[in-house]
Structure 1
Amino acid sequence: MLRRPWRQVATAAAALLTAASLVACGDDPSENQDLSENRAGAMENYAVGTQFKATEPISFSVLYNNHPNYPLKNDWLFWSELKSRTNITLDPVAVPLSDYNQKRSLLIGAGDAPLLIPKTYPPDVNTFVSSGAILPVSDHLDLMPNLKEKIEKWNLKPEIDTLRQQDGKFYLLPGLHKKPWHEYSLAIRTDILDELNLAVPKTWDELYTVLKAMKAAYPDVYPFSDRWSQPNPAGNLFNLLAVSHGLEGAGWNFQHMSWNAQAQKFEYTGATEQYKQVLQYLNKLVAEKLLDPESFTQTDDAARQKLANGRSFVISANAQAVVNDYRPDLAATNPKAKIAKIPLPVGPAGEINPSSRLENGMMISSKARDSKNFVAMMQFVDWLWYSDAGQEFAKWGVEGTTFVKDASGKPTLAPEVNVIGLNPNAPKHLQKDFGFYNGVFAYGGKPELVQAFFSPEEQEFQQVMNARTPKTPPPPYPLNDEEREQVSLWETPLRDHVYQASLQFVLGQRDLGQWDAYLAELRSKNMDAYVEMANKAYERYKEANG
């Protein structure tokens, strides 16, 4: 999530944050910096709609998240076409997906990080700010016209503000979505719903009713047996329920702090009344044998086997899991079975879309600021990751080779190219053979781009979710270095205890009548001090930045 003794902070932070408030308003201090020695290869009149092309050949190093589904190839069309269009050669420092975060930390700590560090999620940045190893990118937004335009046109300032650190600056260039994109929900055997004359549940309470009816008809079955429980117990299920109750996140997206808009303060997520309600709901499902208790510990394969063998009817899902896992599994065991992902059930928070419009993005090594090609690099990043043309290139590839456009200008995959099963018999694959639609380079954008490869049913799912009210992002509470260092000592014990106790409460190993004792245990692990620190940081930031 989003450190001198407090008495020093009170004095020093006042002056620091007064200056930071000016930064936060403009975010263009590079207008007043001398970049005359850093413009080699840069375009003179780069602007929105301009095809970036460096005036001389340049190479930039980039940390590359090597995905096992499409391992890095040096002869991908992506690399050669990128060089042709931009005069930029990217030099990838490849790291396996499984080791990416750890290797990134080691490289940054040793001062050996590449200039461009993508695939970084917002909370991950906090660890690196105090070292000075990461560039405060908000100082240089004037070099990035496409990014600035999207922030303004899409009204993203509230989301961008959540990235700000205690100095009022932000250090991550995030992926931007025009609309929030919520992907994860539950999948349900729709043939069982039809058999029992049940409607698709729209709320968590209706899901309970559906599970009760399934259990009555199939008493030897746990209607709901879940996956995605390693390393976090029921990681997706906890998160879905938490956000449906108005919390910032739980499970695999556990957020220590959740914003209480009514009280105008942060609260510890795992100690809120809403989180207690989540546990009560899950405990009820387990106690009534509607939810398989093994859901919280079993492997994905075990959960899939139960679904395929008719020992469960409901499971966590995203679009790819339904298409690539569940339907093939069921086709092999029960060809008449039908399964579909349902819209996120509505909870006490109402019909909201809980997903952020920000996603993983780019850190830039502070070493880049001293490069003679710094301005060209920022222009290049702006074009590839934030311009409409760059985003289309990264996702679709080259017109006439990997995609074609109809009379209206809408792109479609070339017949000989496959991705996500859209052209299953095609000889070539967009990711594996060409390097496009690569998670390092292609993320964010307008809904029509983000959803371009979605199946019709997934697009229907997104239409339902997009019609819901976007969740208001919480206000910033940036911690200073000393506070962050202290919090880093508190967070792991607190998170681990929430996970452990949550599992005990849900499985009935601990009675929910012991809730007050559980809260006392969290307090013994510095919960109150953490909450107090977060709220002081929020008030400090609000006072300095309005």
Structure 2
Amino acid sequence: MKKSIRRFLAAALSTGLILGTMAGCSTSSNSNDTIDNSTTPETTTKEETKETTKDDKLNITLYYSDNATLPFSENWLTVQEVQSKYNVKLNFEPIPIADYQTKVSLALNTGNNAPDVILYQSTKGENAALALNGAIVPISDYSDWTPNFNQMVEKFGLEEDIETIRLKDGKYYYLPALFDQPFYDGGLILREDLLKEYGLEAPKTFDDLYNVLKTFKQENPDSYPLTILAGPRVLYRMTMPSYGVSLGKNAASGSGTLSWDYDKQEYFAGAIDDRYKEYVSFVAKLYAEGLLDPEMAEPIDGDRWTQKLATGKSFATYAYYDQIGGLEGTSDIEGIKFQMYAPLEGPSGAHHQPKSKTGSGILFPTKTSKRDDFEQVVRKIDEIFFSEEGAKIWCLGVEGTTYTGQDDAITYTDEIVNSPDGIYKTMQVKYGCGSDVTQMIWVNAREMSKYDENYSRINKEVAQMDNAIQYIPPTPMLDDLQAEEAGMLQSPLLDAFEKWDNAFVTGTKSVENDWDDYVQEMKNLQIEKLCSIYNDNLK
């Protein structure tokens, strides 16, 4: 529909039918704008813009991606503190993570039901087409309204990273989360006490992992040694890179079915590549031999996941370090000990999920720009999430309540330190600190203060590995028509991939016998065309 409207308007303009109505409505923009206050939008002088006073709180509605392992609470200390400190009412709408992208897509496509702010988003995939078709505010046009974001970008030296999120028109459409340096926060977690009991070495490769899981199964026939948190996507994003691919809903490329070749510096059709075939064959072997939780196809909520591991029904998982304390604290098994390990080596090396110094962040639906107080909304969001004070609240809570000290010498309250869930998880669940959805500034020194010496040791080990954490693949510079075409190709391709992937893993389809049929279906859905669109538009 948007394409038809755009073509109608172009035709009308060419015949002069609507020249009168369009006069004076165009806005000038500079596709080469920089972060440093390069533009001054006309809307900054709107007479109807309201000033917010102490007695007139600014009301802002926000979409929030809600995870069952970290359920949102409007009573979190972080939420209450920023509302009080910045004289604002934040009306969060928590949406289950499994439904989040669908809800966001619907809101951006329809426009009218969109909130003021959408959290935990980027402009990879469909959002790129929506942005270029006018559904999302080009926030780079308003860079003078985001001084705190600009300052943090400069402080972390992320100017070049910001350049990579610009779309074909030279603009960026969201304010990404900013990291001073990536860190290894999650990976393979398994029972260290059982490794010692069974005389096993810590796994270094996926073949090692297979042998460890086999031993666990032999010693505990009724178990499913490897379980999964929140469905296959967590397992896939943490293990696929060692096989040279990144696919599915959490694909590093944002495409779902394409992967990035780090040697050739180009995209390839990862979903039909032999590298994926080798990967899914390995996972299918685990499933067939009873080494992989048969419930893996459906999202396993945090409570069931914890119960499986705490009771000995499972012994290994892919998850985050901060969750170890909760597993051990919940268990009645004497001497139970979980440990997190560095990325395992696969056919393409030992790699974790790709990361960059920018992450999913904040975008503004175009509807928000129609508010009389749009400037105040943008400035307030910038202050709440990107100012030094705001950043500390979302990370550490409130000084004197949850912690004391500065980055290099932070001390947490005794209640938090002694919590069986550990500092990080307690800060998340009880106070709302350290949520990927709301924390926009990540300072490594602060994050390490929430963990123990063991975690720091693991991070040092990973840092010494050869490119264990790869960079996020570049975003193709698509214009609106190309982005729209790519978006139309991506959805059916991803749906088909997920259907076949589940069938391959569970054995209802054979990798050996049905692979050619699968490849042909993906080719019929034009995966090769999608790949060409991406490669033809690399910056």
TM-score in terms of structure 1 length: 0.76
Look up the SS of the partner of 1:472 in the other structure: coil
| CA contact 1:242–1:250 (8 Å) conserved in 2 | no
| CA contact 1:60–1:115 (8 Å) conserved in 2 | no
Show the counterpart of 2:364: 364
Give the drift of 1:491: 2.6
Show the counterpart of 1:192: 194
Of 134-143 and 147-156, deviating more is 147-156
Note if 1:531 corresponds to 2:531: yes
Show the counterpart of 2:451: 454
| CA contact 1:158–1:473 (8 Å) conserved in 2 | no
Give the drift of 1:268: 1.7
Write out per-residue CA displacement over residues 336-370 of structure 1, whole angstroms, 9 at most, x where no aligned residue. Answer: 33222222223344344533233221112445556
Q: 1:257 to 1:24 in 2, by over 3 A?
A: farther
**Letter aligned with residue 37 of structure 1:** T
Give the drift of 1:391: 0.5
Of 516-525 and 25-34, deviating more is 25-34
Give the drift of 1:133: 3.5
**Letter aligned with residue 386 of structure 1:** F
Note if 1:498 corresponds to 2:494: no
| CA contact 1:119–1:360 (8 Å) conserved in 2 | yes
Give the drift of 1:163: 2.7
Q: RMSD between aligned alpha carbons? A: 4.0
Can you give the 5+ residue segments of structure 2 that lack an aligned partner in the other structure?
5-27
Cα distance in 2, alignment partners of residues 433 and 506 from structure 1: 37
Show the counterpart of 1:401: 401
Cα distance in 1, alignment partners of residues 129 and 224 from structure 2: 42
Cα distance in 1, alignment partners of residues 313 and 79 from structure 2: 47
Q: 1:467 to 1:147 in 2, by over 3 A?
A: farther
Write out per-residue CA displacement over residues 125-154 of structure 1, whole angstroms, 9 at most, x where no aligned residue. Answer: 336314524210122334434433443453
Give the drift of 1:201: 1.1
Q: Of residues 207, 219, 234 in structure 2, which corresponds to 1:236?
A: 234
Show the counterpart of 2:257: 256
Show the counterpart of 1:11: none
Can you give the 5+ residue segments of structure 1 that lack an aligned partner in the other structure?
5-19, 43-52
Note if 1:26 corresponds to 2:34: yes
Show the counterpart of 2:482: 483
Give the drift of 1:443: 3.8
Write out per-residue CA displacement over residues 155-212 of structure 1, whole angstroms, 9 at most, x where no aligned residue. Answer: 4355434433232211111111122244332221112211222221122232234334
Give the drift of 1:223: 6.3
Q: 1:288 to 1:171 in 2, by over 3 A?
A: same
Q: 1:273 to 1:107 in 2, by over 3 A?
A: closer
Give the drift of 1:78: 4.9
Cα distance in 2, alignment partners of residues 492 and 183 from structure 1: 30
Show the counterpart of 1:338: 337
Write out per-residue CA displacement over residues 301-323 of structure 1, whole angstroms, 9 at most, x where no aligned residue. Answer: 77665545545432233234432
Look up the SS of the partner of 2:345 in the other structure: coil
**Letter aligned with residue 405 of structure 1:** G
Q: 1:373 to 1:344 in 2, by over 3 A?
A: same
Give the drift of 1:480: 3.2
**Letter aligned with residue 240 of structure 2:** A
| CA contact 1:327–1:338 (8 Å) conserved in 2 | yes
**Letter aligned with residue 516 of structure 2:** D
Describe how 1:7-22 pairs up with structure 2 within 5 A. Answer: none
Look up the SS of the partner of 1:497 in the other structure: helix
Describe how 1:506-521 pairs up with structure 2 within 5 A. Answer: 506-508=505-507, 509-512=509-512, 514-521=514-521
**Letter aligned with residue 45 of structure 2:** E
Cα distance in 2, alignment partners of residues 268 and 190 from structure 1: 38
Cα distance in 2, alignment partners of residues 130 and 209 from structure 1: 50
Cα distance in 2, alignment partners of residues 510 and 457 from structure 1: 42
Show the counterpart of 1:115: 116
Q: Of residues 161, 177, 191 in structure 2, which corresponds to 1:175?
A: 177
Cα distance in 1, alignment partners of residues 38 and 383 from structure 2: 19
Cα distance in 1, alignment partners of residues 235 and 428 from structure 2: 30
**Letter aligned with residue 451 of structure 2:** F
**Letter aligned with residue 224 of structure 1:** P
TM-score in terms of structure 2 length: 0.77
Give the drift of 1:396: 2.5
Look up the SS of the partner of 2:361 in the other structure: strand
**Letter aligned with residue 484 of structure 1:** A
